[in-house]
Chain A
Amino acid sequence: MFRSVLEGPTAQADMTVLVNGAETPAWDGETVAGVLLRVPGAGRTSAVTGEPRLPYCQMGVCFDCLAIVDGVASTQGCLVPVKPGMRIESQQGAREIGR
Chain B
Amino acid sequence: MDADVIIIGAGVVGAALAYGVAKTGRTVVVLDGGDRDLRAARANFGLVWVQGKGSDAPAYSLLTRQSSDLWPEFRNELANRSPLALDYSRPGGLAFCLSETEYENRAAINERTHNQGAEADTAMVDRAELERMLPALTLGPDVVGASYCKLDGHVNPLQLLASLHHAIPSMGGKIMFRNPVEKIVPVAGGFNVIAAQGTLQAPRVIVAAGLATPTLTEPLGLSVPLRSERGQILVTERLAPILPFPGSGLRQSADGTIMIGATNENVADIGVTVSSATQLALRAMRIVPALGSARLVRQWAGMRVLPLDKTPIYAESLDYPGLFAAACHSGVTLAAAHAAMIAPAMASGHLPDQFAPFSNGRFNVQKCA
Are the C-beta atoms of A97 and B256 separated by less than 8 Å?
no
Q: Which residue of B lies closest to A73 (CB)?
A: B293
Q: Is the CB of A95 within 8 A of B290?
A: no
Residues A99 and B255 in contact, CB atoms below 8 Å apart? no
Q: Which residue of A lies closest to B291 (CB)?
A: A97
Q: Is the CB of B255 within 8 A of A96?
A: no
A5, B211: Cα distance in complex, Å = 58
Q: B360 to chain A: closest CB distance in Å?
A: 45
Residues of A within 8 A of B129 (CB): none
| A contact residues around B241 at 8 Å (CB) | 94
B residues near A93, Cβ cutoff 8 Å: 240
A11 within 8 A of B: no
Question: Is A74 close to B, CB under 8 A?
Answer: yes
User: Known contacts being A47-B256, A48-B255, is A97 close to B138, with CB within 8 Å?
Assistant: no
Instruction: Give chain B's interface secondary structure class.
Output: loop
Tell me the B106-146 residues at the A interface (CB within 8 Å).
136-138
Q: Kindly state the interface size class of chain B when it binds its partner.
A: 10 to 19
Specify which chain A residues have a CB less than 8 angstroms from the CB of B137 in the assembled complex: 99
Scoring B residues 62 to 98 as 1 if CB is less than 8 Å from chain A, else 0, what string do you get? 0000000000000000000000000000000000000
Q: Are B290 and A99 in contact (CB under 8 A)?
A: yes
Task: Name the A residues within 8 Å of B293 (CB-CB).
Answer: 73, 97-98
Report the Cα distance A98→B138, complex, angstroms.
Answer: 9
* Contact A94-B256, Cβ < 8 Å, known A74-B295, A99-B137, A99-B138: yes
* Chain B residue at minimum C-beta to C-beta distance from A97: B290
Q: Is the CB of B242 within 8 A of A97?
A: yes
B294 CB-CB contact with A under 8 Å: yes
Say whether, besides A94-B256, A99-B137, A48 and B290 are in contact (CB < 8 Å). no
A74 pairs with B237, CB closer than 8 A: yes
* Bound: A73/B138 CA distance, A: 19
Per DSSP, are chain A's interface residues mostly helix, strand or loop, or mixed?
A: loop
Does B238 sit at the interface, judged by CB under 8 A? yes
Interface: B239 (CB within 8 A): yes
Which residue of A has the minimal Cβ distance to B256? A94
Given contacts A47-B256, A48-B255, whether A97 and B238 have CB atoms under 8 Å apart is: no
Whether A94 pairs with B240 at a CB distance below 8 angstroms is yes
- Chain A nearest CB from B154 CB (Å) reads 18
B225-279 residues with Cβ-Cβ distance < 8 A to A are: 237-242, 255-256
Assembly CA distance A99 to B240 (angstroms): 12
The residues in B between 286 and 314 inclusive whose CB is less than 8 angstroms from any CB of A are: 290-291, 293-295
Contact B239 A94 (CB under 8 A): yes
Q: Is the CB of B239 within 8 A of A95?
A: yes
Contacts of B237 in A (CB 8 A): 47, 74, 95
Per the bound structure, the CA–CA distance linking A73 and B293 in Å amounts to 9
> Do the beta carbons of A96 and B238 come within 8 Å of each other?
no
Question: CB-nearest residue of chain B relative to A47?
Answer: B238
CB–CB B138/A96 < 8 A: no
In the complex, which residues of chain A have a beta carbon less than 8 angstroms from the beta carbon of B238? Answer: 47-48, 94-95
Which chain B residues border A99 with CB–CB below 8 Å? 136-138, 290
From A92, which residue of chain B is reached at the shortest CB distance? B240
Specify which of B239, B291, B295 is in contact with A96 (CB 8 Å cutoff).
B239
Residue of A nearest to B288 (CB): A97
| Bound complex: CA A48 to CA B239 (Å) | 10
A74 CB to nearest chain B CB (Å) = 5
- Chain B residues with Cβ under 8 A from A48's Cβ? 238, 255
Contact of B290 among A47, A74, A98 (CB under 8 A): A98
Chain B proximity of A78: nearest CB distance (Å): 15
Q: With A and B bound together, what is the CA distance between A73 and B295 in angstroms?
A: 9
Question: In the complex, A94→B256 CA distance in Å?
Answer: 7
Q: Is the CB of B240 within 8 A of A95?
A: yes
Tell me, rounded to whole Å, the shortest Cβ–Cβ distance linking A95 to chain B: 6
Q: How far is the CB of A75 from chain B (nearest CB, A)?
A: 9
For the complex with contacts A47-B238, A74-B295, A94-B239, 8 further pairs of A-B residues with Cβ separation under 8 Å are A47-B237, A48-B238, A48-B255, A95-B240, A97-B240, A97-B242, A98-B293, A99-B136
Chain A interfacial positions (CB closer than 8 Å to B):
47-48, 73-74, 93-99
A-B residue pairs in contact (CB < 8 Å), sample of 12: A47-B237, A48-B238, A94-B239, A95-B240, A95-B294, A96-B240, A97-B242, A97-B294, A98-B290, A99-B137, A99-B138, A99-B290
Which B residues contact A (CB, under 8 angstroms)? 136-138, 237-242, 255-256, 290-291, 293-295
